[in-house]
Amino acid sequence: MQLQPVQSNNMYQKPGMVTALGIMTLVSGILNILTALGLTFGIVLGTLGIGLLCAPITMLPGVLGIFEILYAVKIIANPPVAVKFSQTIAILEICCVVVGNVVAMTVGILALVFYNDAAVKAYFDRINLPESM
């Protein structure tokens, strides 16, 4: 029995940093949603309902968590989906330190650092090329 060489499409070979970025963003999104729910319930129950006026403060981690999960699913997808690096999500993750979420801040900083890697930039450029007909 003769082994056939495996033909791999190196054009879309995903660097390890991109996979790490996707997984970290997914975990950060889940933690942001849980943080938003915890803060909202804590404020509302802790102030006997008067804290509902402060509930909009907890919207940043909740909404960001949803966007992070949607973005992470696109990054982790196999085969790759055309998605651009979201600097906005990384900056908003850093802003989550205001509500005490240090994990999101760390993920935001790492996302910006990872994107400066040449292999990661090249990967995002390649998956966003228009396909030739």
Instruction: Output the pLDDT for position 31.
Output: 93
Instruction: Output the pLDDT for position 6.
Output: 38
Instruction: Output the pLDDT for position 4.
Output: 45
Considering the domain boundaries, does residue 6 fall inside one? no
Outline where the chain has alpha helix (H): 16-46, 59-76, 87-95, 102-115, 118-127
- Per the structure, the count of domains in the chain is 1
Among left, alpha and beta (phi > 0; psi -120 to 50; other), residue 48 is left
Considering the domain boundaries, does residue 61 fall inside one? yes
pLDDT in tens, the chain (133 residues): 554 433 445 556 889 999 999 999 999 999 999 988 888 888 888 888 777 777 777 788 899 999 999 999 999 998 888 899 999 999 999 998 988 889 999 999 999 999 999 999 999 999 988 876 5
Instruction: Output the pLDDT for position 43.
Output: 81
Instruction: Output the pLDDT for position 7.
Output: 42
Instruction: Output the pLDDT for position 122.
Output: 92
Considering the domain boundaries, does residue 7 fall inside one? no
Considering the domain boundaries, does residue 57 fall inside one? yes
Entry pTM: 0.83
Considering the domain boundaries, does residue 81 fall inside one? yes
Considering the domain boundaries, does residue 28 fall inside one? yes
Instruction: Give the integer Cα–Cα distance in Å for 133 and 123.
Output: 21
Considering the domain boundaries, does residue 1 fall inside one? no
Q: Do residues 124 and 84 make contact, with C-beta atoms less than 8 angstroms apart?
A: yes
Instruction: Output the pLDDT for position 8.
Output: 47
Considering the domain boundaries, does residue 60 fall inside one? yes
Instruction: Output the pLDDT for position 92.
Output: 93
Residue 111: which of 4, 24, 13 has the closest Cα?
A: 24
Instruction: Output the pLDDT for position 1.
Output: 53
